[in-house]
Amino acid sequence: MAYKRQFYPGATTPAVNRRRYMDPKVNLKKLRDVSMDDVVRIMGHRNPGEDYKTIHAPLDENPYETLCPIRALVKPIEGAKSGDRIRYIQFTDSVYFAPISPYQRAWMYLSRYRGIDTGTLSGRQIIEVRERDLEVLAKEMIDNETFDPALTGIRGATVHGHACRLDENGLMFDGWQRYVWDDSKKEVVYVKDQVALPLDRKISVGKPASMSDLQKRTTIFRADGVDMRDDKEVSMYGLRIHKLRTLGGYQPFKVKGV
Amino acid sequence: MTSNEPTVDYAGIPLPEVMIMTNRLLKAETTEKVLDALATVGHIRQINMTGESLPKTINSGPNKGLDNNHSERKAIEFNGKEVELRHLVGAFYLELDVEDEDTLDATVAGIKEACDRTIPFGYDLQVGRYSKYRTSLHDYRGA
């Protein structure tokens, strides 16, 4: 019997959203259109229009390519083919019902993309990819429903803020103020790149979603939203892993029928 | 080691303190309004504020040392003096100069009224003692 891939248990909204974000067959909704040049400006790795810097010769110019069995097996991504540098983008997700949280970002990235390296921390998620592939990925992640202008931050360093109270405009705290609230347009605009270098011009990332909308979109279980304990299947799944890991660590003979 | 000494001299008795935790981090402008409102309430001996730190310069990463230029890191005016804000304020600690419960209750009611008028998005207020009120042996210790 062919194995049918499963993603996440549960029937509550956060559980369903986790499944949706992870499933590569689901096309995520596009909510905004930040131009590619602006995405490149916010990341700050190169100037728009500038050539990609390389760290090795293009693969098709490499005489040893055909001798490598791994290269025969794995189809390279575009950036690897051209020898691009590996660059990064890092997102910070607020605990106040951000559309996604760092751990699910890792699940989503690994489930949807090839040729990436991602790292999870409590409030942020870094993703490292060959530069030209990173730009495509970054644009998708800024444009789609996993990004909210107020509660998701693009922060390369000093990411502090994900667990802080929001400010008066409802924006996640950022000590470096990379983005500000434009009161006339009711939009969030980036004024600094992800490592706080001031941008030549402001880049709008659109209007923040309402709290009721975010509660429908989030993957975060919270006592004041959907409590994880209210989802029986999710609780049992967590308990099962906990039990298997604990018993497996010191009394593996007790792992029976778990 | 940073000094943990009390900010003002010991009053002779441990005085009660009011802690106000705001639901949102306040703009400099709102902080000024809250302080002005609190200034009209009597029996407040000292006000300390804290919140999320706003660095003067970029403190890490490739642009370390660059001016941060955070719009909320600025001087506000209080009681005719300029106060340099270094935080996005989210908490106020008010030491009350009261000696009986009736004065305490009246002062707390006045503080609540001032906060209701000036703090948007609500706050949490508690009466207790949250900071050190006299120097201790620890403050005489070397680094």
DSSP code for A258 = -
Q: Is residue B106 in a domain? A: yes
Contact B27 A167 (CB under 8 A): yes
Confidence bin at B113 (pLDDT 50/70/90): very high
The pLDDT of residue B7 is 81
Structure tokens at A219: 């993957």
The pLDDT of residue A43 is 96
Q: Which residues of A136-154 are buried (b: 16+ CB within 10 A; e: fewer)?
A: bbbbbbbbbbbbbbbbbbb
- The beta-carbon neighbor of A173 closest among B63, B88, B120 is B88
DSSP code for A149 = T
The pLDDT of residue B127 is 97
Averaged pLDDT for residues A104-132: 95
pLDDT in tens, A157-213: 999 999 999 999 999 999 999 999 999 999 999 999 999 999 999 999 999 999 999
CA of A88 vs chain B CAs: smallest distance (Å): 14
**Average pLDDT of the residues of chain A:** 94
| pLDDT over threshold 60, residue B2 | no
| Chain A: residue whose CA lies nearest to B71 | A177
The pLDDT of residue B1 is 41
Q: Is residue B5 in a domain? A: no
Structure tokens at B42: 């009597």
- ipTM comes to 0.88
Domain hosting B97: range is 17-140
Contact B69 A164 (CB under 8 A): no
pLDDT in tens, A37-82: 999 999 999 999 999 999 998 988 876 666 778 888 899 999 999 9
Helix, coil or strand: residue B98: coil
CA of B25 vs chain A CAs: smallest distance (Å): 5
- The beta-carbon neighbor of B120 closest among A158, A165, A168 is A168
Averaged pLDDT for residues B60-88: 94
DSSP code for A19 = H
CB contacts of B121 in chain A (<8 Å) are 168
- The beta-carbon neighbor of A166 closest among B24, B30, B58 is B24
Q: Mention the CATH class of domain A13-226.
A: alpha beta
| Chain B: residue whose CA lies nearest to A193 | B63
Question: Judged by CB atoms within 8 Å, which residues 172-201 of A form the interface with B?
Answer: 173, 175-177, 180, 195-198
CA of B20 vs chain A CAs: smallest distance (Å): 14
Averaged pLDDT for residues B47-60: 95
Tell me the residue type at A36: M
For residues A203 and A38, the answer to whether their CB atoms sit within 8 Å is yes
Q: Angle CA(A146)–CA(B60)–CA(A100) in degrees, nearest 5? A: 10
Q: Is residue B2 in a domain? A: no
Interface A-B: count of C-beta contacts within 8 A: 64
- The beta-carbon neighbor of A158 closest among B25, B60, B71 is B60
Q: Does A157 touch chain B (CB under 8 A)?
A: yes
CA atoms of A252 and B25, how far apart (whole Å)? 49
What are φ and ψ of residue A153, in 5° steps?
Answer: -115, 145
Distance of CA A59 to the CA centre of its chain: 29
Contact B26 A168 (CB under 8 A): yes
Confidence bin at A221 (pLDDT 50/70/90): very high
* B-interface mutation test, from A173, A181, A194, most B Cβ less than 10 A away: A173
pLDDT in tens, A7-29: 999 999 999 999 999 999 999 99
- Residue ranges covered by each domain of chain A: 13-226, 227-258
The pLDDT of residue A66 is 66
| Chain A: residue whose CA lies nearest to B58 | A176
The CATH number of the domain holding residue B29 is 3.30.70
For residues A191 and A199, the answer to whether their CB atoms sit within 8 Å is yes
Domain count, chain B: 1
CA atoms of A52 and A43, how far apart (whole Å)? 14
